[in-house]
A and B are shown apart, each in its own frame.
Chain A
């Protein structure tokens, strides 16, 4: 109960800050919208490649863009912690009896919410330009849940790295170094059967690919719910590990000051 109340309070703090800068929500939408429309136009002819299974490229791309926006939004979450540490807010919080896990989970909750909002806009836009979602609301809901789960994993990692390094530059470096390769080493932009063999092999261990696969099949004509369930399971386990890492990071931080 205490854990929940503390998490809610931390999430509330970040949400209030977010709502006080509504322009930021608009700005955060620019990138995924550009990806969707630009990649959608650039690679439109992908749909003509022999072996590409049905539908338009933009329909294929939508879950990929949702997954991309999830990891890029979540990656920057740790910046809030670095600001808190530099300002002194973090130290003030750490000498209260706050449940340590709440610091990470509260900030993750805020990030997941903004990922879900951005994803909804992307899906809406994709429907406007002619894509189809074959399983209606359920398909979209599963896609959003998967995006949120992946975002929670990456937000926790970002928070943990932020607390350990306490340097904006380091976090920027790591986020840029990690997100793009993970996106390209997955089926986010290209159908799995058309990927080179070695990328297909690497992608099996890539959480971004798990999310892209599961999100895509959830919106397909014949969804593979077994695949959805196993991928959600993998991501869930990863979330447990990354949340534990972010929470443990505070112990290391407190030893180092």
Chain B
């Protein structure tokens, strides 16, 4: 992200953004991109409007055109009323929206959003998701968004790249990636831990595969989850394994991640946190 936005330089290799080389054409790349970093980029001691006017100045926007555009992005991000207040008095969600506005004020062709919803409460996060969806349509933007939240990627992305330990492990539309995993995820919770018996029983059932057991939890993949559940419960009860609950889910990006990275997303995330 830092390399693509010209903030930092790569040790090797080359990268193009909007058809421009990020090292040789850094100046033109800067004019075509907007960047919303992980950390807030706003100046807390200035008002929202002053923040935007300063940003616009650096892109050469002036006079009436600048005023119009600043008003437009303030309105677009729901900050029209707050524009005259110091940014440090904003709520977390509003500050984040001002950051997005700063990235948009010069009408970039590509907008980089680096984990934009990290640290926001669920409501503010949902708000920002809606804004991002609207912006992508209204501003004719390409948005590159990085995130640790798979449901965020699922909802917002039309093209998805999964990176694990610095390598691309999968790419495609979320739909295509999910449909690659044929069938549904079936999850069964047992009354008491009897995983070995249960796995043995289920592995003999037709149409059930990818079995995994963890304590009292069983995970399996079935072509038609809803149809598989009754026979599955039946087989377990016959063997004397008591079932507490059973759920069927369409494949999620979590499953995609599990499949490609070879470990669950929660696990990988915990490892990264430890490393950091």
Contact = CB atoms under 8 A, between A and B. Distances in A.
Partners in one complex: yes
Contact of A97 (B2, B9, B30, B54): B30
Given A9-B54, A87-B44, 7 more contacts: A6-B58, A13-B54, A87-B41, A92-B37, A93-B41, A95-B5, A254-B9
B139 interface: no
Interface in A56-114: 87-89, 91-98
A243 to B, nearest CB: 19
A98 B58 contact: yes
A222 interface: no
B177 to A, nearest CB: 31
Nearest to A2: B60
A257 interface: yes
Nearest to B40: A88
B57 A9 contact: yes
Given A87-B39, A92-B37, A95-B5, A17 B58 contact: no
Interface in B150-180: none
A94 B35 CA distance: 10
Nearest to A80: B45
Nearest to B4: A95
Given A254-B7, A254-B8, A257-B7, A96 B59 contact: yes
Q: Report which residue of A5, A9, A95 has the largest number of chain B beta carbons within 10 angstroms of its beta carbon.
A: A95
Size category of the B interface is 20 to 34
A45 interface: no
Interface in B18-34: 27, 30-31, 33
Contacts of B33: 95
A87 B40 contact: yes
Contacts of A91: 7, 37, 39, 41
Contacts of A95: 5-7, 30, 33, 35
B38 interface: yes
Given A88-B39, A95-B30, A9 B7 contact: no
A91 B50 CA distance: 18
A5 B8 contact: no
A96 B43 contact: no
Interface string A10-27: 101100110010000000
A6 B55 CA distance: 10
Nearest to A99: B58
B30 A92 contact: no
A100 to B, nearest CB: 11
B115 to A, nearest CB: 12
Contact of A96 (B9, B44, B58, B99): B58
A89 B7 contact: no
B102 interface: yes
Interface in B192-241: none
Given A6-B57, A88-B39, A89-B41, A94 B7 contact: yes
Q: Report which residue of B35, B99, B102 has the largest number of chain A beta carbons within 10 angstroms of its beta carbon.
A: B35
Q: Report which residue of B31, B33, B42, B45 has the largest number of chain A beta carbons within 10 angstroms of its beta carbon.
A: B45
B46 interface: yes
In the complex, the 7 A-B pairs of residues with the closest C-beta atoms, listed nearest first: A92-B41, A88-B39, A17-B45, A98-B58, A96-B58, A9-B57, A97-B30
A4 to B, nearest CB: 11
Contacts of A257: 2, 7-8
Contacts of A5: 57
Nearest to A10: B54
A20 to B, nearest CB: 7
A13 B30 contact: no
Contacts of A93: 41, 58
A254 B3 CA distance: 10
Contacts of B55: 96
A93 B43 CA distance: 10
Contacts of A96: 30, 55, 58-59
5 contacts: A20-B45, A87-B39, A89-B41, A91-B41, A95-B5
B9 A13 contact: no
Interface string B82-123: 000010000000000001001000000000000000000000
A102 to B, nearest CB: 8
B58 A97 contact: yes
B97 to A, nearest CB: 15
A88 B41 contact: yes
A255 B11 CA distance: 10
B8 to A, nearest CB: 5
A21 to B, nearest CB: 8
Contacts of B40: 87-89
Nearest to A98: B58
A141 B60 CA distance: 35
